[in-house]
Structure 1
């Protein structure tokens, strides 16, 4: 409704987006040109000059073609690329440049000498990206949230969201008093707004796109180009690629790194995996049962012998999770404002996955508030270590792509990096690490990738 449009305008004015997220070049949406409709003739291929050696790396040029075999004349396709070496068990992500005319340049750094193979994958065509843009801007309500209101034996359930049409009933306003993070629920008929008991995901909207548009997200719409290359003379090992051999994976080494550390983890399930992984591999770390603990958290673990304390708490709304008590819903910025800090304190942040159905301005505002809290924390405790975990690509089917597409995730990743630029934080680049993995698109819940995001070679770069 009009109120939601006004709210979005307010987000845009407050957020002051620091980047211009990648987007399809303005083109009429003509479905027959989409690769997914006539996929047998759609191709990704090289231009005449297949590879160009440049300082510190090499570049390939990729030409996309339509189903007739004709070169595309507009950009906006979403490509991912990686260079890897089975021999060295190493890999690195490529940087893709869209020339907005169907031609793409992919640049790879040369981090080792010898043979390698590079892959370029079209995750979404520009036509599919147009559909995703429409959903992001026009259907932020495509995930349903709800709360139970309870008083005595009487309970009611109502829908909740960041923005709700007020013409369907009176609203309960749960906007955060410190940072203005907005959240509303429809007021139950027989209970007050102060009887709200929990929060949970109610479901997902259906029939969001037409049957023809759905073809754009079928698996056969994706294209992968593979080529082998060799750098016997030009390649030189000048840096450490992401390598299965270049790890920090012994329990004793992790324990030594964590000794006398107080670690706070704030974020989504990708950080909760860190907590559970450390709890699994460190024999001295014991889980502390909290009262009425729920699967989403919060969690606490302690190693008394080595003076280690780990805390995990999920970020505030929106949250696509099972029922969680209202008193456990806390925004990261508020939590950071309550920390004292110190030389043995480590804060890790990871927040992105639950914002994928909202316009990017919503995410910008949330990260902006967290950034302010981080700056204040560093001002009062300069010796504290703050680690930011980036977003990562995921293995998604055609339905899941409508709710958490990598096309949206990349834009969030750009926002996150821009927001924390120039601030004394450290990074775990999960996006790059996933692309460098042996599988081009990696599921975020695979134990291999969780282990490697934690097994950073040098403790000084990542203190947990």
Structure 2
């Protein structure tokens, strides 16, 4: 397991050998990005990942399908085509009609049948076409698909989408409910946009601009604003890195005499300056391309399925969160807005059951606002909490206590990097590993970790090291206090606006970070749980949102409470 090196015995604000090592590693990761792979682990053949599954995975049988599945199409693809991108940059730049078009692309059920039953498998073939309606001849487009029944408030993801490398894509579905269902497909990004995103990440590994505000304690009118970042800015620097938890942070040393490194007061994040940098490395056509995302394909494809005569209820155990799926395909479905996992049973908790489950427990949340949502949900649905601490709106800490049930809710942000669009006190920056090392755990302590949204604008290398450091701290806590419940919440899909947000926070980037998170946790021996927020948010028929609606959020809380209390 990754063990961060101890802090060097050097001056507090000098560049330490460990900090220098980070800069070298960070630079090497960018160099490797250019030569052997991109920042998301794709090989030097310029592979554009979509949903890398094999046909065996796409047609797999889960435990819940042990009653019987009727395989309609069998193995139509021998193996995933890990293709070399055939994008001709000059062709689409000279003629934008070559770009994949969501409104021109089509999809249909491959080898349709007259009669369908629940648990039948179907294959939906997607044909990518350009703006002139011509079939594309190479892959790399980022499609998402869903099967939906508005009448039943039901929806499910495909078992996987296979990029065939020739402009066609196969989405494998299993029918999960009787009645009419509609298939929907969206083009999240055409392959040409993905290539622009990849290049922008390569040229701008950090797509957010920070500054630090230094204020003289003897005179608050004496102040100076300087650039800060996870890599050292030019000139003399102040080093605030926490090497032990892998949290690099630097600011340029103030030029005003007598302003010291210890006088750093606020850290500010700016979209405007970062936006300007993205504009400098992209053309007008590219920026326009980046704004065209999540375009629905207008094919009308539906089917009607009958319930089977041989219906049966598989004998499933209650879900726990110990299994971390390394894949990104479907693991359950919504029906009447209730989540039904394929391989286990998830209990739905009513209001009084939530209170009973959390009685005499401490629920500590570390991370971004998608983790803080759990606290906000509980405060909304459970009355009687008293606010103990409510500091910085974005960073926290926030603490609430329920005297009747002896429940403590606590949230604090995960430390740098963060993007708030305004200034926050540097003294309020806390790192998760340090927080875990200060805790005394036990069966009464439940910890939720949510780190993803703010890291997408930085290096995948930095994210990996931070997660490894947190797992190390979690391991120390579990050895000190067996019985502590520690759960990671993964990334969820989100709405995205203009070109800047596309190269900073698009689902394509989130997807790569999510794969890395799952890989790290699944390889670790540390006993932590995992909530698959990606499957839940992408499967639900509602619109994507960085802060999922109460149906999705309530499902995640049900999963957490099932894990903790059942």
TM-score grouping bracket, smaller chain normalisation? 0.7 to 0.9
Are 2:286 and 1:213 aligned? yes
Greater CA deviation, 401-410 or 442-451?
442-451
Secondary structure of the residue aligned to 1:433 is: helix
Secondary structure of the residue aligned to 1:205 is: helix
Secondary structure of the residue aligned to 1:101 is: coil
Corresponding residue for residue 429 of structure 1? 532
Corresponding residue for residue 53 of structure 2? none
Q: Could you tell me how far apart the structure 2 residues matched to 1:258 and 1:36 are?
A: 56
Are 2:303 and 1:229 aligned? yes
Judging changes above 3 Å, is the alpha-carbon distance between structure 1 residues 220 and 162 closer, same or farther for their aligned structure 2 residues? closer
Are 2:88 and 1:28 aligned? yes
Q: Could you tell me how far apart the structure 2 residues matched to 1:53 and 1:456 are?
A: 30
Confirm or deny: 8 A CA contact 1:279 1:287 kept in the other structure.
no
Confirm or deny: 8 A CA contact 1:18 1:415 kept in the other structure.
no
Judging changes above 3 Å, is the alpha-carbon distance between structure 1 residues 448 and 413 closer, same or farther for their aligned structure 2 residues? same
1:52-67 map, 5 Å:
57-67=121-131
1:377-396 map, 5 Å:
377-396=477-496
Confirm or deny: 8 A CA contact 2:416 2:429 kept in the other structure.
yes
Corresponding residue for residue 17 of structure 2? none
Judging changes above 3 Å, is the alpha-carbon distance between structure 1 residues 386 and 50 closer, same or farther for their aligned structure 2 residues? farther
Confirm or deny: 8 A CA contact 1:137 1:359 kept in the other structure.
no
Q: Could you tell me how far apart the structure 2 residues matched to 1:436 and 1:133 are?
A: 26
Corresponding residue for residue 159 of structure 1? 227
Q: Could you tell me how far apart the structure 2 residues matched to 1:80 and 1:388 are?
A: 24
Are 2:243 and 1:177 aligned? yes
Confirm or deny: 8 A CA contact 2:154 2:335 kept in the other structure.
yes
Q: Could you tell me how far apart the structure 1 residues matched to 2:379 and 2:24 are?
A: 45
CA shift, 1:53, in A, is: 9.8
Judging changes above 3 Å, is the alpha-carbon distance between structure 1 residues 122 and 335 closer, same or farther for their aligned structure 2 residues? same
CA shift, 1:161, in A, is: 0.9
Corresponding residue for residue 195 of structure 2? 130
Greater CA deviation, 244-253 or 5-14?
5-14
Corresponding residue for residue 71 of structure 1? 135
1:448-463 map, 5 Å:
448-449=550-551, 451-456=553-558, 459-461=561-563
Confirm or deny: 8 A CA contact 1:299 1:311 kept in the other structure.
yes
CA shift, 1:376, in A, is: 3.0
Judging changes above 3 Å, is the alpha-carbon distance between structure 1 residues 308 and 320 closer, same or farther for their aligned structure 2 residues? same
Q: Could you tell me how far apart the structure 1 residues matched to 2:431 and 2:215 are?
A: 23
CA shift, 1:431, in A, is: 1.1
Q: 1:411 aligns with which of 507, 512, 516?
A: 512
1:58-457 map, 5 Å:
58-94=122-158, 95-151=160-216, 152-153=218-219, 154-166=222-234, 169-190=235-256, 191-203=259-271, 204-206=274-276, 207=279, 208-219=281-292, 222-224=295-297, 225-232=299-306, 241-246=333-338, 248=348, 250-290=350-390, 293-321=392-420, 322-399=422-499, 400-421=501-522, 423-439=526-542, 441-445=543-547, 447-449=549-551, 451-456=553-558
- What are structure 1's unaligned runs of at least 5 residues? none
Secondary structure of the residue aligned to 2:454 is: helix
Q: Aligned-residue CA RMSD in angstroms?
A: 3.4
After superposition, what is the alpha-carbon deviation per residue over 1:261-314, rounded to whole angstroms, capped at 9, x for unaligned?
Answer: 111101111111221221122102222135x54443110011111111111011
Greater CA deviation, 223-232 or 53-62?
53-62
CA shift, 1:379, in A, is: 3.4
Judging changes above 3 Å, is the alpha-carbon distance between structure 1 residues 87 and 294 closer, same or farther for their aligned structure 2 residues? closer
- What are structure 2's unaligned runs of at least 5 residues? 1-19, 50-83, 317-331, 340-347
Judging changes above 3 Å, is the alpha-carbon distance between structure 1 residues 372 and 300 closer, same or farther for their aligned structure 2 residues? same
CA shift, 1:329, in A, is: 1.1
Confirm or deny: 8 A CA contact 1:388 1:426 kept in the other structure.
yes
After superposition, what is the alpha-carbon deviation per residue over 1:25-55, rounded to whole angstroms, capped at 9, x for unaligned?
Answer: 4333232565686859731334864689998
Q: Could you tell me how far apart the structure 1 residues matched to 2:564 and 2:491 are?
A: 17
Judging changes above 3 Å, is the alpha-carbon distance between structure 1 residues 345 and 301 closer, same or farther for their aligned structure 2 residues? same
Number of residue equivalences: 459
Larger radius of gyration: 2
Confirm or deny: 8 A CA contact 1:11 1:365 kept in the other structure.
no
After superposition, what is the alpha-carbon deviation per residue over 1:5-39, rounded to whole angstroms, capped at 9, x for unaligned?
Answer: 84424558999999846726433323256568685
Judging changes above 3 Å, is the alpha-carbon distance between structure 1 residues 127 and 181 closer, same or farther for their aligned structure 2 residues? same
Q: Could you tell me how far apart the structure 2 residues matched to 1:368 and 1:14 are?
A: 21
Secondary structure of the residue aligned to 2:561 is: coil
Confirm or deny: 8 A CA contact 1:34 1:216 kept in the other structure.
no
CA shift, 1:254, in A, is: 1.5
Q: 1:45 aligns with which of 107, 110, 113?
A: 107
Confirm or deny: 8 A CA contact 1:215 1:221 kept in the other structure.
no
Secondary structure of the residue aligned to 2:447 is: strand
TM-score (norm 2): 0.73
CA shift, 1:79, in A, is: 1.2
Q: Could you tell me how far apart the structure 2 residues matched to 1:86 and 1:425 are?
A: 36
CA shift, 1:396, in A, is: 1.1
Greater CA deviation, 314-323 or 93-102?
93-102
After superposition, what is the alpha-carbon deviation per residue over 1:320-346, rounded to whole angstroms, capped at 9, x for unaligned?
Answer: 023222222122122222222211111
CA shift, 1:430, in A, is: 1.6
CA shift, 1:223, in A, is: 3.5
Confirm or deny: 8 A CA contact 1:91 1:437 kept in the other structure.
yes
